[in-house]
Amino acid sequence: MAANSGARGTMTEEPDGGAATPSSERITVALIPKASADLAHLQDRTGLSKTDIANRAISLYEFIDTQLREGREVLVRDPETKELQVIRLL
C-alpha cells in the first residue's frame, strides 16, 4: 500500500509488512553556469553521476546547516600547516 507524503515523494510499505520507506523523488534544477561547471568537474574527478552528486550535496548541506543551527562551528584544517578555516553558509 502506498501513502502520499506530499512534497517529499511517496511512501511505500515493505513487502513483508514492515515500516514504510520513502521512494525516490524527481526534481528539475536550473543550474547557474558556475554550478554547472563545478558539477562537470566533480563528475570527471569522482566518476559519480549527477544524481549521486546532487544527493550527496543535499545531505552534506543538511548536516552542515544542522551543526551551525545548533551553535557548532564547521572547520577545515590543513594537515601540513595546521591552518583552520571556519565554514559559513550565507
Long-range interactions of 53-58: CB distance < 8 A, separation 24+:
54/29
Question: Do 37 and 24 fall into the same domain?
Answer: no
Nearest Cα to 42, choosing from 30, 24, 55, 29? 55
Question: Do 50 and 73 fall into the same domain?
Answer: yes
Residue 28 has, within 13 A of its CA and on its CB side, a CA count of 0
CA angle 48, 38, 24 (to 5 degrees): 45
Range of the domain at 15: 1-28
How many other CB atoms are found less than 10 A from the CB of residue 17?
7
Question: Do 9 and 36 fall into the same domain?
Answer: no
pLDDT at residue 23 in the model: 84
Question: Do 58 and 16 fall into the same domain?
Answer: no
pLDDT at residue 28 in the model: 95
Question: Do 50 and 12 fall into the same domain?
Answer: no
**Domain count across the chain:** 2
Question: Do 45 and 77 fall into the same domain?
Answer: yes
pTM: 0.71
pLDDT digits (tens, 9 = 90+) for 12-57: 556 666 666 678 899 999 999 999 999 999 999 999 999 999 999 9
